[in-house]
Amino acid sequence: MNTALPRRWEHAVVTGGAGFVGSHLCTALLDAGTAVTCVDDFSTGRPENITALLERPGFTLVQANVSDPFTVDRPPDLVLHFASPASPADYLRLPLHTMEAGSLGTRNALALAHGAGARFLLASTSEVYGDPQQHPQNERYWGNVNPVGPRSVYDEAKRFGEALTTAQADAHGTDTGIVRLFNTYGPRMRGYDGRRRTDVHPPGPGRRVPHRHR
Ligand SMILES: NC(=O)c1ccc[n+]([C@@H]2O[C@H](COP(=O)([O-])OP(=O)(O)OC[C@H]3O[C@@H](n4cnc5c(N)ncnc54)[C@H](O)[C@@H]3O)[C@@H](O)[C@H]2O)c1
C-alpha cells in the first residue's frame, strides 16, 4: 500500500483515530514525521488499535466526545474528521450519537481547523447516495436517501456533515475537503460489524447471503 503523503504536515488531529481506518491514518502520519493527536471516545473504537502508537514520540491521545467542545494542546495544520460510528451494527445501536458526530462533531472539528488555519477533511461515505438509482455513482449524482429510513441516522448525518463543510468553506474560506469512502476492509476491522464481505463465498446450506452495506 502506498501511504506517501502529498505534503509534510506538522501536526494532525485525527478524530476517530482509535477506529479501524483512523488508527491506520495515525500510523501513516506518524511514519511520515507528522505529530498526531487522536481524539476518540472509544464508543466503537478499540484501545488496542492504538496501544503501539502510545509508545511513539509525537502521538497524543485525547479521550473525548467530539460532539462536545474539545481542545488539543497545540494548533494543528491538518484536521481529519473520522469520528463516527460506521458499521450498521454500531449506528443502529447508537442512532443519536451517530447524528451528533456528523453534525455537532463536524461543527467542532471545523471550528478547530478554522481557528488554526488548518486543512480540514471530512470522512463521508458512499451511503450519501442511499439506495442509488445510478450505477456506478459519480460525484455529480445526488443520491436517493429516505430521511426516515432504517439507515437514515448515518446517511443523513453524513449528508449534513458534507453540507456544513461546504457552507463553512463558502462562508469563511476554510480549506476543506470531503472524501466519500466506499467499503474499506483490512486489519483491525472487528470480526462482526455488519460490513464484511462474507458474500464473496457462495452461501452454504441454511446460510443466507447478507445484505451489502457501505
Ligand atoms: N470502513 C468503511 O468501510 C467506511 C466506509 C465509508 C465511510 N467510512 C467513514 O470512515 C470513518 C471511520 O470508519 P471506521 O470504519 O474506521 O469506523 P470505526 O467505528 O472503526 O471508527 C470510528 C472511530 O470513531 C470513534 N468515535 C465515534 N463517535 C465518536 C465521537 N462522538 N467522539 C469521538 N470519537 C468517536 C470511535 O470510537 C472509533 O474509534 C467514519 O467516519 C466512517 O463513516 C468508513
User: How many domains, in total, are found in the chain?
Assistant: 1
178 located within any domain: yes
Where in the sequence is the domain holding 28, given as residue range(s)?
Answer: 11-200
Q: What is the mean pLDDT of residues 109-117?
A: 98
CATH number at residue 51: 3.40.50.720
Q: What is the mean pLDDT of residues 156-183?
A: 97
Which residue's CA is the closest to the ligand 1 atom numbered 22? Answer: 19
159 located within any domain: yes
6 located within any domain: no
- For ligand 1, say whether the CB of 130 is within 6 Å of any of its atoms: no
125 located within any domain: yes
Reply yes or no on whether 154 is catalytic: yes
117 located within any domain: yes
pTM of the model: 0.91
pLDDT of residue 202: 43
Closest by CA position to 45, among listed 25, 71, 73:
25
